Amino acid sequence: MENITLGQNGPVVNPLCIGTWAWGDKLFWNYGDRYGPEQLQEAFTAALEAGITFFDTAEVYGMGLSEKFLGQFLQQTQQPVQIATKFGPLPWRFTGQSVSDALTASLKRLQLERIALYQVHWPFAFFLSQETLMNALADEVKRGRIAAVGVSNYSAEQMRDAHQILAARGVPLAVNQVRYSLLSRQVESQDIITTARELGVTILAYSPLAQGLLTGKYSIDSTETPTGARKIDPRFKKEGLQKIAPVISLLRNFGEKYDRTPAQVALNWLIAQGNVIPIAGVKTAEHVRQNAGALGWKLNDDEIGELEQVSRPWL
């Protein structure tokens, strides 16, 4: 497993990250229905057994429950684990102290004194200026409570601004976490990927399987019924599923060649872009084992190109 350095000199992490949005979240992911703490504990253990030790969470996931679960599970292992969490720039947070207080609360839930990566969840900051926000994060790097600073959902221009403010403090911007998959490639056409490469910023790709569309589980002929957030997503309706059929077909073809699933091929395509780490959401140990199958092998250049071509409608 070739590990990746976050940004220019941040922590060294796995090329695949475990996403924990569903950990405790009832609103989108029906937490408590078919999965609960026991399944999450098993998923955490399965990740470590597979050699995957990089986890992404946020203070808003499950209203803090996701961080709490991670905190509990971390107490039961001696293995080094890297945690990334996120600060929500909410309207009532408009001082540097509010950033520090939010980090303190996250660290308490995680039962940690320091985390690998602290990210700004959204670019809109209401009454909190980017200068105040980035300087508060730089202060926390100097204090030693975070190893690296990241942003999430930032445009190319917003990323440049954050990078510039941090650079003045001698702190690199390590990460921009964005929606990125074969069915969501707008970050390429919006120059976010090229700007990240230019600035030495690593891309964390959330929804790398497009909420499960790239697993091949959902098709026109499938009896699988979308649940939770997927129920209201038009991509899961008949027309949406017809549109993605050529992509799924190609993923299946390559999957048969390498004895992998369509999902594993889709994740491997993202890793092959270089400087990109997919965040694969999990609820169970089986999800973890499935995602881990994206590691330890590589699509060849021709296959990467074919997938690039067939997914061009989503640029």
- Identify the CA nearest to 175 among candidates 11, 16, 3: 11
The residue to which tokens 């309706």 are assigned: 237
Residues 230 and 171: their CA atoms lie apart, in Å, by 39
Residues 6+ apart with CB under 8 A from 44: 55, 69, 70, 73
157 three-class SS: helix
- CA angle, 68 as apex, 66 and 70 as ends, to 5°? 70
Q: How many residues make up the chain in this entry?
A: 315
Nearest to 188 by CA among 251, 133, 118, 269: 269
- Candidate list 61, 154, 180, 206, residue with the active-site label: 61
Question: Alpha helices of the chain — where are they, by DSSP H?
Answer: 37-49, 65-74, 96-110, 130-143, 156-167, 186-189, 192-199, 238-258, 262-272, 285-292, 301-310
Do 281 and 22 form a contact (C-beta atoms < 8 A)? yes
Among positive and negative, which fits the CA dihedral 304, 308, 314, 315?
A: positive
Rounded Cα gap, residues 107 and 68, in angstroms: 10
Active site includes 218? no
Contact 203, 9 (CB under 8 A): no
Catalytic residues: 61
